[in-house]
Amino acid sequence: MAAPALRFVGNYDVAAEGKCLWEILCQLRNLGAGRIVTKTEWQLRWPNQSSYLKIVHARPEMDPWLHKGKVWAEWTFRGRNMGVYEFSNDLNRADWKLVHKHEEHKLLDNKSTVSDIVLPSTFPLPPLQRYLSQRAAKKSGVKYDGKRDGRASLDVCLDPQFNVYKDLIKQKEPTNHSDSIYKEVDPQVYLDWYGQVLPTKVETWSLGPASYEPRWKVEKPAE
C-alpha cells in the first residue's frame, strides 16, 4: 500500500541551529550568570555586528520540558548596549548558543554598531484627500498651501517583532518632498531591519497532482 501524500504547512525556521536557552543555562554553574549567549538568528541576519546576552540572573520554572522561565540579561543588539532586559518569551526556540570564554573577545571587541534609523516625520496626503482639502479650503475661502496642508504628521507604529528598534528611530522632516511617501524613504532602511535573511514561508508541499475533496458529501435521494 502506497504511503499517503505528505503536506507541510507553516514557516520554515532557517535559524533552528542550536539549543533552547534553558537547556544551556541549567547545565551551567549559577544558571549561567556572567556567561554570554547568542542566537543563530542574530548571527545570520547581522554577521558583522555583535548581538548577545550577558546573563545577570535566571529563574527557570522547572517545567518538564524546560521551556518556561525568566532571564535578566545585559543585552547588546547589533553593537549597541540596550541595558538590562527581562526575557520570558521565545526562549524555547532551538537557536541559542553558548559563547565559549575563549571566543567571547570576538563579540566584545567588535566595534561595528547599528546607526540611527531616520524616518520622515510627515508624509504626503493621498491625491483624493488633497483634492478634497483643496475643495474645502476654496469653499471656506481659506488659502490652500500645498506644502503645509498637503502633508500630515507621521506616527511610527511598529510590529511587535520590531519593537527593539523603537529607541533607534529618529524622525525628521524629509528634504525631498514628493507626492508619494515611497519616494521619500530609502527602501534599504526597512530591508536592513531583516538583515541578510529575508522572511521565507513554505505554504504546502504535496506529492502528485492537486485534487479537491469536498468537505461534505451530498447524498443523492433514493429513487
Query: What 3-state DSSP class applies to 37?
Result: strand
Confidence of residue 217 (pLDDT cuts 50, 70, 90): low
At 42 the pLDDT is: 92
Mean pLDDT of all residues belonging to the chain:
83
Contact 73, 53 (CB under 8 A): yes
pLDDT band at 116 (very low <50, low <70, confident <90, very high): confident
The pLDDT of residue 196 is above 80: yes
Beta bridge partners of 119: 171
Q: Give the model's pLDDT for residue 90.
A: 79
Contact, 83 vs 74, CB < 8 A? yes
Q: How far apart are CA 164 and CA 174, in angstroms?
A: 24
Asked if the model's pLDDT at residue 97 lies above 90, the reply is yes
What does the pLDDT average to over 110-115?
91
For position 130, what pLDDT does the model report?
Answer: 83
pLDDT average, residue stretch 11-20: 75
Does the pLDDT of residue 112 top 80, yes or no? Answer: yes
Q: How far apart are CA 174 and CA 182, in angstroms?
A: 12
Q: Where are the domains of the chain?
A: 21-109, 117-194
Mean pLDDT for 163-190 is 84
By DSSP bridging, strand 117-120 and strand 169-172 are parallel
Helix, coil or strand: residue 6:
coil
Average pLDDT over residues 48-55: 95
Residues 6+ apart with CB under 8 A from 193: 162, 165
The total of other beta-carbon atoms located within 10 Å of residue 182's CB is 8
Confidence at residue 199, expressed as pLDDT on a 0 to 100 scale: 66
Rounded Cα–Cα distance for residues 181 and 198 (Å): 23
Stretch 180-194: mean pLDDT, rounded?
Answer: 84
pLDDT band at 100 (very low <50, low <70, confident <90, very high): very high
Confidence band (pLDDT; 50, 70, 90) for 186?
Answer: confident
pTM of this prediction exceeds 0.75: no
Percent of the residues in the chain that have a pLDDT greater than 70, as a whole number: 81
pLDDT at 209 over 90: no
Q: Which residue has the higher pLDDT, 130 or 112?
A: 112
Query: What pLDDT does residue 200 have?
Result: 60
Instruction: Identify which has the larger pLDDT, 197 or 100.
Output: 100
Q: Which range (42-46, 75-79, 112-116, 173-177) has the least confidence? A: 173-177
How far, in Å, are 6, 33, 40, 78, 93 from residue 192 at the CA level? Answer: 36, 32, 17, 11, 23
Q: Which long-range contacts does 181-185 make (Cβ < 8 Å, 24+ apart)?
A: 181/120, 181/123, 181/124, 184/120, 184/123, 184/124, 185/119, 185/120
